[in-house]
Chain A
C-alpha cells in the first residue's frame, strides 16, 4: 500500500481510538467475540450437560486451597425453595485446569475435549449459577454467544452486499428500475418490524432443528434489513453518477455493473461501514426476540434470547438473579456496537461530529 493511504488509514484509526467510548467498548466487543470463538474451550461443561439435582444452584467461586483450586460443594436442603447449604462432610471439590472434560468439536470440525477449567463429571463449578435443569449458566452463555453474536455479523454481511448491489443498481440506472426497487423497500419498511419477523417466521415450519432455525433466522432478518442500506446507497449513487469520473468510465464503454462495483462502492464504503456497525444490534435483538418467543433456537442448544425466556416468572426473577445475565449480555453487546459505531462515524466523517 502506498504511504499516503497508510497514513490515511492510520489517522482514521487514531481518530477512532481517540474517542473515549471506542476505547472502552471496542475491547469489550473484541472480548465478547473472542470468547464466542473459544466458547467450548472456555466453558467448563457442554451446553446440554445437565445435573437435575443441582437445578438453580447459586453461583459459587473457586478458591485456592491446599495447593489446588477448589470449589465449595453445596447440597440441596429445600426442594421447594431450592435452598443450598455447604456439604459439611465433604466441603470441597477439586477444579482442574486444562483438563479433559465433555468432548466437543471446535469450529464444528476439530474434535477436542480439553477445557480451560472443569471438574469431574459428578461435581460442578457453577461460576454463574445453574438453570432449571442444573446446566451451567456460564457455559450456556458462552455457547449462546456463538449464536447471538454471529447472527449479527452474518446478517449484516448479507444485507450490506444486497443493499449495496440493489441500491447501486437503483441509483445508477434510475428510471423504472429505481422506482420498482424503491417501492419494494418502502413496502418492507412500512410493515412494523416485529410483525414482519413473526409473519415470515410463520412461513417456515415450527419444528426445525436449531441449525436450520439459525439459517431461517438469518434469512428472515436479512430479508428485512437490506432495505434501509439500499435506500441510502441509492441516494449516494444518484449523486455520484453525475460526477465526471463516472461519465469518463461510461465514455470508455465500461460495463455498468463494474462502474457500480469499482467507482460507486469505494466511494460509499465509509458510510456503509458505519451503518453496518450501527445495525448489528438490530440482528442481535431480532434473534433474541425470536428465541425468547420460542420461535428461534430450541433447547438444548442455547442462545441469549432463549436463556432469557427461562427467566419469565416472578419467582425466578426474585430468587435466581443469575438467570437474568443473558439480558445483561444482550444489552452490553448492543450498547457496545452502538458506541463503537458512533466512534467510527466520528472518525470517518469529522464534519458530522461538529454538526451535532
Chain B
C-alpha cells in the first residue's frame, strides 16, 4: 500500500447538545459519534455498516464538515481539515463529495437538472462559459447512464434510480477523488440497487475514486468493500476485510447484525 492513506480519521467525536429551558442551556449531549478512528487508502472502498442511529451518517457528514466535529481529527492527504475555515475548505470540496440516501430530498425540486449539476461547475470551474457547461453536464449525464436531453427537466420527472444517478453526476462534476456514499441505494428498489452499485464500481474503476460506502444493507457492503467497519452507538466495534467480518465475526453485535438478515431458506 502506498505511503499515506487518502483519509485518516482519529478519535473523531460528534456530540450534539440537548438544549432546553428559556436560555437554551445544554442539559445533555447525544454522542452520535464517540471516538472513532480509521483510514481510507486511495482507490479503495471502505464500507461502514450499522443499524439506524449508530452514527454512520453523522460520520460521513463530519468528514465533509457538514456537521462540526466536537473533537478528534480528520486528515485529508496528510492535511488536517478539522479546523479548516470555509474558505480554506473550498479547494478541498472539489476533491471530496457526497451522494445522499434519499434521492427525493437531495435534488432541489425547483431547479432543472442543468442548474443542479451546473452549480458544481459554476463554483469550481467558473471559467467555463454557459455553452461549455451545458456540454459538460451532457457528458456527465451520459456518464451516469442518462440522456443529455434530460438536463432541462425537473427532478419530479425522474424515478428514484434516475434521481440517484443525477446525484452521482453532481458529485462527479467537480472530478473528486473521494466520495462519501451515504446509503446511496437504501431508498431504491432491489433491481435498481444493483444498477447503481455497478455504476459506482464502474466509475471507481474509470476515475480511480475512493469511497466511504455507508449502508445498513450488509450484502451490498460485502459486495463492494475492500474493508468493512461495523459501527454501533457511535463507536466502531469491529473492523476487517469483508471475508473476516462476514466469515468469522468476532463481536457480539456483528453476529447479531448478520443473524438479523432475513433469508429465504
A residues with CB within 8 A of B: 2, 4-5, 243-245, 247-254, 262-263, 266-267, 269
Contact = CB atoms under 8 A, between A and B. Distances in A.
B112 A267 contact: no
B98 to A, nearest CB: 5
Interface stretch (B134-142, B151-159, B203-211, B219-227): B151-159
Contact of B105 (A5, A243, A250, A251): A243
A252 B64 contact: no
A2 B112 contact: yes
B100 interface: yes
B112 A245 contact: no
A183 to B, nearest CB: 13
A245 B108 contact: yes
A244 B110 contact: no
A266 B100 contact: no
Nearest to B89: A253
B90 to A, nearest CB: 4
Contact of B102 (A244, A253, A263, A266): A244
Contacts of A248: 98, 100, 106, 167, 170
A251 B154 contact: no
B108 A266 contact: yes
Contacts of A267: 108-110
Given A4-B154, A243-B106, 15 more contacts: A2-B153, A244-B102, A244-B105, A245-B107, A247-B61, A247-B100, A248-B100, A252-B124, A253-B89, A253-B90, A253-B123, A253-B124, A254-B123, A263-B108, A263-B111
B124 A245 contact: no
B146 interface: no
22 contacts: A2-B153, A244-B101, A244-B102, A245-B105, A245-B106, A245-B116, A247-B61, A247-B98, A247-B106, A251-B64, A251-B66, A252-B97, A252-B120, A252-B123, A252-B174, A253-B86, A253-B89, A253-B90, A254-B123, A262-B108, A267-B110, A269-B110
Nearest to B96: A251
A262 B119 CA distance: 10
A247 B154 CA distance: 19
B31 interface: no
B205 to A, nearest CB: 24
Best-buried of B61, B101, B123 by chain A (most CB within 10 Å): B123
B22 to A, nearest CB: 12
A251 B93 contact: yes
A248 B180 CA distance: 11
A266 B97 contact: no
Contacts of A269: 110
Contacts of A254: 119, 123
Contacts of B102: 244
A244 B57 CA distance: 12
